[in-house]
Amino acid sequence: MHIVHLSDALGCLPLIEKAKETASGKQQQRPRLTVETCPHYLLLDTDKVQDGDTRIKCFPPIRGPEQRKALWKGLETGLIDMVASDHSPCEPSMRQKAMRDAWGGLTGLQYQLPATWTAAQQMTNIGFTEVHLAKWWSQNPAKLAGLPDRGTIEPGEKADLVVWDTTYIDKPDMYSNEHHRWKGDCYYSSQQLQGRVLETWLGGKQIYDGSKDHFLSHSGGFIECFNFKECFDHLAKK
- Tell me the pLDDT of the chain averaged across its residues: 86
* Cα-trace Rg, the chain: 18
pTM: 0.87
Q: Are 38 and 60 in contact (CB under 8 A)?
A: no
Domain boundaries, given as residue ranges, for the chain = 2-236
Q: What is the pLDDT of residue 178?
A: 64
In angstroms, rounded to a whole number, what is the distance separating the alpha carbons of residues 36 and 2? Answer: 8
Contact 196, 165 (CB under 8 A): yes
- Give 133 or 236, the one with higher predicted confidence: 133
Mean pLDDT of 196-208: 89
- Ordered alpha helix ranges (H), 48-192: 65-77, 112-122, 130-134, 140-144
Per-residue pLDDT at 30: 46
DSSP string across 26-39: GGTPPPS-EEEE-H
- Residue 83 near residue 116 (C-beta atoms within 8 A): yes
Task: Check whether 25 has a pLDDT greater than 90.
Answer: no
Backbone angles phi, psi at 165, to 5 degrees: -100, 110
Residue 18 pLDDT greater than 70, yes or no: yes
Instruction: Strands of the chain (E only): list them.
Output: 2-3, 34-37, 82-83, 161-170, 193-202, 205-208
CATH number of 2-236: 3.20.20.140
